[in-house]
Structure 1
């Protein structure tokens, strides 16, 4: 999953047996009493400021903290910063840090750690550098105060700082020693213990966590790639929680009293992107033809068995930033007319998907059938996620499918992906009016004007087919009835800090 984030990674119902990991019991000598969480893939790396994989964020959000963080309603609340003020001209933000916080190695957390973390992102041009694009200065005023100055009013600064992906506060010592890659040290509710490649990661509860010690002794993340295997392990009592639930089982599981099922509408979205650096995909009429050629409802049914909602823009209905849009229907005749108008006759398409997200493989098969009447043979290229990221970044694709998760502010949905200089604009879309509107959205403090700017930008993005938006998935998770104090969040954040297990550990 790519983020911003990329992300980019997503909490979705994963389909299809691409690779199998048998259900297995955990080494109880290492993690007796731990909450056992089955996730669908292994983190690509453990540096929270460098990864863009959702599987990494699932683990690392329990290890690291941010300055502020979203609550269940996605409103920003205190985290490592206990309070903040904004100057009358909205150009200076002053954060008072929470006293007495320490890193897992016992090192005191201070303002210098915040300054170092943000400068590392800016100076290193890491994945989320665009979230700090307005920042002109970050400095410490004593050990407990951080002052951030911005070049212009920045209405989404708190959202940018609080979105976990890439914005974690790290330990300078941990980074400069190189150990962050193999033994990350944060200030979060759980500390890293060990990783067994291809199998699991073990975390231990942090008894000195500023938010209160967790109620479970630790969390073991098991990597189980096959959803049916993860569900069987949950039903057998071998795991306590999973977000790898077969979509075709959701209806049946709603009536299963032996577990808790959560199907929560999300702000995530899945999309297709055509490589505009290549002909004929550089012609918007050809991209529009593909948008008319695909059948979103068939894709939704195949990938989520109806638990997702088809959408032609990124932001879902029910979100306060939602914009209605329904230009594209499944219309092969219109697609053919557009191709003829463009004088384009593509006969093949290289479609990049990843085995790490089986729904991309499933969708690709539907899309191949959809585009066959246009005379386009879709060659589905299935690779591992690391290769997918490399191929995306180097532009080695005609079309790809992926999703974005953890979006809160409208800037999260559009800027990095569609601004000419966006850090995740792999499709090479460039439109001066979109650039102007997205830049304006970053500084506009009037909510109505800002909403109008984003609605206009989103419409142009869809009209010009920077992305072909497919659907908004639901966050689907299941857990044992022994687990309490946990909630499935629509931003996909996996937080076990308040979770508890009744009945003690496994025997």
Structure 2
């Protein structure tokens, strides 16, 4: 069929207009009207108190609540607790809970649920149990009152209770039935509906949510491990939101009106950890050699394309707890000198990374090139996230790379990772002076003195190469411009409770 020149010009004009316009929503068989969110990996499990996977938290933060929570400035605000008081000696915290809150199965939320949740973390030594180290008792004088007593002043107690990782309030019945593993029940803005392994998780709006019912009918999380695929799906209107954005596309996306791009400096950091339970990595001189043998700038460019900032400590510039540190540089000569001084000549290194965080795979390839002049062959072992966690926990690695996400208080950046008894000290670092400083930081109520404790501890941690810190990333997310009421947060928390999407109605 032959088209006239005017028709061809009209079609071209329409195509050009469409390329600059927000993508129209494509119906792929999901008639729910849910917000479709593409995340880069599948949750390793659905129990919020047991998981340490960010993919799990992306979903479960919308299903569960904490008693307090951070606002956009990371200051703690009321959540399931509407108010609280602290005794003059700083040892008794009394929380007044909201009335009329129910779990998704209709059962009432009471103070007993808070006591049960916290006792479960403490008694079973679950994820982040170290955040309860000062707590001596948790009681419920009545259905709406929780009293927490501590052995010493605990200036970061609210942050410990409000940072979502591991602190969700769970239903005792849901836990004891075992159903929390397959059908978690919380009090949050969305209720769990279903999971298709390897594909998706579906949530539905909690219409009786204490914070007001959501404006969208629900959220469907699609697991799309390849960032370019997730971005293409967003641009095609097949998904509404994603945090799987290729950093090399950021500059281009800044000029693309079809998506809303957010690049937000974060409190997260990426690091390398050497297994100090194995020789020769138990020698600090060998670890320092690796620190000098790593080209951070090359890693940042390869993984983040200029969207991240290289750093030799955990806490980024702009954070009130930041301190400068620049002991290490890319210096193969110094690395060789340190290895010779230690009498060490490692020839291979088993490096554990996961394809669910592509940054780790990319960085591993740079690191392999960096360490080759030292005579070290880096054997990159790429596994799924669940296997990565198992291998980390059993110490089956020479070196691993990962990020620490959702940090707020300085204790979040250092204690669990570097205290001898820290719950996440997989590298087996131990320094009595660091322990003393981190313990002191947990009880020091004077801001300046507390900052001094953490500055000294951070310096010793870096000097001892408990971690080889690499960089602080940005939170990079993109969504359809028709999605409103949502903001990218510095702590990486994904909250869809206030989100709205044209053409949907949570009612």
Q: Tell me the distance in 2 between the aligned counterparts of 1:138 and 1:40.
A: 37
Q: Please give the alpha-carbon distance, in whole angstroms, between the structure 1 residues aligned to 2:39 and 2:28.
A: 14
Q: Give the match for residue 169 of structure 1.
A: 169
The equivalent of 1:126 in structure 2 is 126
Aligned position for 1:343: 343
TM-score (ref. length: structure 2): 0.94
Equivalent residues of 1:482, 1:503 under 8 A apart:
no
Q: Which runs of 5+ in 2 are unaligned?
A: 1-25
Contact 1:230 1:242 in 2 (8 A): yes
1:186-245 residue CA offsets vs partner (Å, 9 max, x unmatched): 000000111111111111111100000000011111111111111111001110000000
Out of 6, 10, 28, the residue aligned to residue 30 of structure 2 is 28
TM-score by length of 1: 0.94
Matches within 5 A, 1:91-170: 91-170=91-170
CA–CA distance in structure 2, aligned partners of residues 500 and 246 of structure 1: 25
Contact 1:85 1:94 in 2 (8 A): yes
Contact 1:393–1:426 (CA under 8 A) maintained in structure 2: yes
Question: Secondary structure of the equivalent of 2:264?
Answer: strand
Q: Which residue of 1 aligns with 2:11?
A: none
Structure 2 distance, partners of 1:117, 1:239, is 35
CA distances 1:134-169 after superposition (whole Å, capped 9, x unpaired): 100000010000000000000000000000011000
CA positional deviation for 1:25: 6.0
Look up the SS of the partner of 2:461 in the other structure.
Answer: helix
2:216, 2:504 within 8 Å by CA — same for their partners in 1? no
Calculate the aligned-residue CA RMSD, in Å.
0.9
* Cα drift, residue 476 of structure 1: 0.2
Matched, 1:250 2:250: yes
Q: Which residue does the alignment assign to 2:49? A: 49
1:316-327 matches, within 5 Å, as 316-327=316-327
Greater gyration radius: 2
Q: 1:306 to 1:114 in 2, by over 3 A?
A: same
Report the alpha carbon displacement of residue 503 of structure 1 after superposing the two structures with TM.
3.2
After the TM superposition, which residues 71-110 of structure 1 pair with which residues of structure 2 at under 5 Å, given as runs?
71-110=71-110
Kept in 1: contact 2:300–2:310 (CA 8 A):
yes
1:311 to 2:283 alignment: no
Please give the alpha-carbon distance, in whole angstroms, between the structure 2 residues aligned to 1:175 and 1:225.
30
CA distance in structure 2 between the partners assigned to 1:26 and 1:140 by the alignment: 48
Correspondence for 2:207: 207
SS in 2 for 1:426: coil
The residue correspondences of 1:292-311 to structure 2 (distance < 5 A) are 292-311=292-311
SS at match of 1:141: strand
Q: Structure 2 CA distance, aligned partners of 1:273 and 1:504?
A: 46
**1:20 corresponds to which residue?**
none
1:298-350 Cα distance to aligned partner (Å, 9 max, x none): 00000011101000000000000001001101001111111111111111111
In the alignment, is the contact (CA less than 8 A) between 1:434 and 1:461 conserved in 2? Answer: yes
Shift in alpha-carbon separation, 1:332–1:25, aligned structure 2, 3 A:
farther
Q: Distance in 2 between matches of 1:220 and 1:377?
A: 43
Aligned length: 480
Distance 1:300 1:490, change over 3 A: same
In structure 2, the residue matched to 1:233 is 233
Contact 2:346 2:375 in 1 (8 A): yes
Deviating beyond 4 angstroms after TM superposition, the runs of 4 or more aligned structure 1 residues are none
Which deviates more from structure 2 when the two are superposed, residues 351-360 or residues 453-462?
A: 351-360
Distance in 1 of aligned mates of 2:210 and 2:263 = 31
Determine the C-alpha separation between the residues in 1 that align with 2:412 and 2:92.
22
Give the Cα–Cα distance (whole angstroms) in 1 for the partners of residues 37 and 235 of structure 2: 13
Instruction: Give 1:504 deviation, angstroms.
Output: 3.8
**Change in CA separation of 1:25 and 1:355 when aligned onto 2, cut-off 3 Å:** farther
Give the aligned partner of residue 487 of structure 2: 487
Match of 2:353 in 1: 353
Q: Give 5+ residue unaligned stretches, structure 1.
A: 1-23
Provide the C-alpha distance between the structure 1 equivalents of 2:282 and 2:324, rounded to a whole number of angstroms: 26
- Counterpart Cα distance in 2 of 1:158 and 1:26: 43
User: Is the 2:91–2:150 contact (alpha carbons within 8 Å) kept by the matching residues of 1?
Assistant: yes
CA distance in 1, matches of 2:29, 2:87: 53
The secondary structure found in structure 2 opposite 1:66 is coil
Partner of 1:193: 193
Structure 1 equivalent of residue 453 of structure 2: 453
Contact 1:69–1:79 (CA<8 Å) still a contact in 2?
Answer: yes
Q: How many Å separate the matches in 1 of 2:503 and 2:49? A: 37
